[in-house]
Structure 1
Amino acid sequence: MFSEKKLDKRIFKKLENLLLLSDFGTSSTKKILSMFKIAIKKKNITESTVAIKIFKKQLLNMLKINKKIDRNINSSMPFVILVVGVNGVGKTTTIVKLAHYYKKLGKTVLLSAGDTFRSAAIDQLIELGLKYNISVFSKSLGSDPASVVFDSIQNAIKKKIDILIIDTAGRLHNKNHLIQELQKINRVIEKFYLTSFYEIFLVLDAGIGQNSVQQAKIFSANLNITGSIITKLDGTAKGGVIFSIFSDLLIPVCYICTGEKITDFKIFNRKNFINSFLNIC
């Protein structure tokens, strides 16, 4: 696109198509192009090689945030991570990847089976916990999820666990009574913790594009979402939805899943992501 030496009006149209096809959404696309045009006009840029550097820097700045991940992970109390998201986004497997990641850092981890509505959810978490040697706290099917969370926190405190990761039922984000259940769980956590001692991570599927933004809007309107984990970036998804989630809702992307292996999980790096997106090394 930027192979020509001189900037051409056709480049802006091609760039617009690229962003839209990469799930940036209309709002973010218009914002990005407007900022780009203003920047090159202000500096009187006519060379494509210079323009692409400005464009890249612009994208980097759009994802800039001062959030510190694992802010109080070394405190005397277990650090709690509540994980939420709708069915099908890969929430449970992502939780296990997250737990495995922390174990590799030398932390003790306990998983809480807070999805008590489906027996398969509890079984899946226990099975994966056994496979990767990760402890799981669970109660019987149909138990009150908030009571499971309460007991798991007490269990984590008693065993001096470093990190407690809580699974929740796959919430249909347009069902108020299910959202209310999540809020109840959140209130239970708040009885034990100040906000600096726990995170609420929203798991989103990169493959569904702008639908992820709608999910994020509903969840963030009802919970203090502190970060997101983007799954399925190993498929056809371009990941542009990351810009919409951040620019519209200020929800930082903390981790990404790039495959099905337990190790296909990493801290989100905005520079690497943009380099990959623009195919610039």
Structure 2
Amino acid sequence: MGEWLYLVIGIAALVVLGGVGLVAGTLRGKRGGAVGEVEQRDAPTGGAGTDLLEPPTTTPPTTLPPVPAPQAPEPEAPTAPAEPAAPTLERPEGTASRLQRLRQRLAGSQGGLGKGLLALLSRDRLDEDTWESIEDTLLAADVGVKPTQELVEQLRTRLRVEGAGADVRSVLREELVTLVDAGMDRRLQVSGADGAPGVVLVVGVNGAGKTTTVGKIARILVAEDRAVTLGAADTFRAAAVDQLATWGERVGVDVVRGAEGSDPASVAFEAVRTGVEQGVDTVIVDTAGRLQNKAGLMDELGKVKRVVEKQAPVTEVLLVLDATTGQNGMIQARVFSEVVDVTGIVLTKLDGSAKGGIVVAVQRELGVPVKLVGLGEGPDDLAPFTPEAFVDALLG
């Protein structure tokens, strides 16, 4: 009996224990998750009585939108370098206004010679002392000995024949125009034959204004609507080449240049060849002006002329002289005339000289006419020479 009692109590205990296990399993099933599954939960926020099995009561963190990855900037389209603005071309002054300024400039600077002669010739009595004073005035103006003697003789004769009623001013004007030789051909030969361009060689010592004269002649021709090419054959002076290039840019004229120290004849040849190919009207060549000795100068200028004429004949050789140098200018004129066949003379700085008689002297010395005269530093201060305008300016 006692054994059955123990058996019943044991069976009852097993039943109770089984029921408790069943209830615990049910509760676990309700909280979710199969047996053996590990549940990930946030760490506790702290605080008494927090059940580690319960979900956290804090507000979940705000989820930020994803930050876009930085994008490389789009490459900018390459821009073409800005082209420099084309230089504004100048319109050179015409011949008519140049001649007008020639009269005005010479009248202001050369009037001393003419006024002095008129004052002496207007005396009541023309004695020997007066005629000697007239000779001295002409010689001081660089007219030269022989031309002075000729002029004085002509004036003596005419005033003696015409007597006291003679118009002294008219007589002096006529004789001065004759002395300057109005019959000379002063036209610039700037046109070639058979479609070839005219070729102008410009010669003279450095310092006389040779390169500037080339630029100013180009302006005269451009004002007459002629196409021009310049040759910078004074290759021994870099400044001369740059200066000539500037003159060309101002009026839209091409300038052919070579490296510093290159052969002047090759540059002159290339300039004329370019002019022939482009069909221009005139090619003007600036030559070197060194004057160490006549032999070297002759070789250099002779070579330039020979090489150039393989392309086109030289139509003009202009000798540039500084009017203020007086007898030194005459010496230079003689040397160059022996080296090259000078066909015309350009007198620069004539407006600043009281010695206008150099016009007469140099023409007598070389037997060639003064064709152009420089009147100042301005770009258009170069004008064709006319004896009448010159003499009128001398007389004021």
Q: Which residue of 1 aligns with 2:188?
A: 70
Displacement of 1:206 after TM fit? 0.5
| Residue 393 (structure 2) aligns with | 276
Moved more, 15-24 or 82-91: 15-24
Once the two structures are superposed, the pairs formed by residues 243-254 of structure 1 within 5 Å of their partners are 243-254=360-371
Candidates 262, 265, 272, aligned match of 1:153: 272
Which deviations, in whole Å up to 9, do the C-alpha atoms of 1:95-136 show, x marking residues without a partner?
Answer: 101000100000011110001112121112112322333221
SS at match of 1:161: coil
Considering fraction of residues, name the structure with more strand.
1
Residue of structure 2 equivalent to 1:259? 376
Worse overlay, 230-239 or 81-90: 230-239
**What is the CA distance between 1:83 and its match in structure 2?**
0.1
1:230-245 paired onto structure 2 within 5 Å: 230-245=347-362
Cα offset for 1:26?
Answer: 2.4
Contact in 2 for aligned 1:25/1:210 (Cα 8 Å): no
Q: Residue 276 and residue 10 in structure 1: after superposition, are their counterparts in 2 closer, same or farther (change >3 A)? A: farther
- Other-structure match for 1:36: 155
Equivalent position to 2:281, from 146, 157, 162: 162
Mapped to 2, the partners of 1:193 and 1:37 lie a distance apart of 50
Q: CA deviation at 1:8?
A: 4.1
Rg (Cα) greater in structure? 2
Residue 217 of structure 1 and its aligned partner are, at CA, apart by 1.1
Q: What is the CA–CA distance in structure 2 between the aligned matches of 1:167 and 1:48, rounded to whole Å?
A: 53
| Residue aligning to 2:209 | 90
How far apart in 1 are the matches of 2:365 and 2:345?
Answer: 14
CA contact (8 A) 2:186 2:371 kept: no
Q: Which moved more, 1:172-181 or 1:74-83?
A: 172-181
Distance of 1:48 and 1:225 partners within structure 2: 44
For residues 248-269 of structure 1, the C-alpha deviation after alignment (integer angstroms, 9 at most, x for no partner) is: 3212000111011111111001
Cα separation, partners in 2 of 1:7 and 1:173, compared to 1, 3 Å: farther
**1:215 equivalent among 317, 324, 332:** 332
- Tell me the amino acid that sits aligned with residue 275 of structure 1: D
Q: State the secondary structure of the residue aligned to 2:371.
A: strand
Is the deviation greater in 250-259 or in 68-77? 68-77
Say whether residues 1:106 and 2:228 are aligned partners: no
Letter of the aligned partner of 1:252 in structure 2? P
CA distance, structure 1, for counterparts of residue 207 and residue 268 of structure 2: 22
Unaligned runs of 5+ in 1: none
C-alpha distance after superposition, 1:63-93 (max 9, x if no partner)? 2234151346275111111000001101111
TM, length-normalised to structure 2: 0.65
* Mapped pair 1:81 → 2:200: yes
Q: Structure 1 27/49 Cα, relative in aligned 2: closer, same or farther at 3 Å?
A: same
Structure 1 equivalent of residue 322 of structure 2: 205
| Structure 2 Cα separation of the partners of residues 270 and 258 of structure 1 | 15
Do 1:156 and 1:164's aligned partners in 2 also have CA atoms closer than 8 Å? yes
- 1:56 and 2:173 aligned: yes
Q: Count residues with an aligned counterpart.
A: 275
**Structure 1 position 173, deviation (Å):** 6.9
Residue pair 2:232, 2:241 contacting (<8 A) in 1 also:
yes
Counterpart residue number, 1:133: 252
Shift of 1:209: 1.1
What displacement does 1:39 show? 4.1
Contact 2:234 2:241 in 1 (8 A): yes
Which residue in the other structure is 1:144 paired with?
263
Question: What SS does structure 2 have at the residue aligned with 1:234?
Answer: helix
1:45 is paired with a residue whose SS is helix
Segments of 5+ residues of structure 2 without an aligned counterpart are 1-118
Higher alpha-carbon deviation: 125-134 or 46-55: 46-55
Aligned AA for 1:253? V
CA distance, structure 1, for counterparts of residue 254 and residue 214 of structure 2: 12
Q: 1:105 to 1:272 in 2, by over 3 A?
A: same
Q: Please, which of 287, 297, 301 is the counterpart of residue 182 of structure 1?
A: 301
Give identity over the alignment, percent.
Answer: 36
Asked whether the 8 Å contact 1:81–1:165 carries over to 2, the reply is yes
Distance 2:242 2:337 in 1: 29
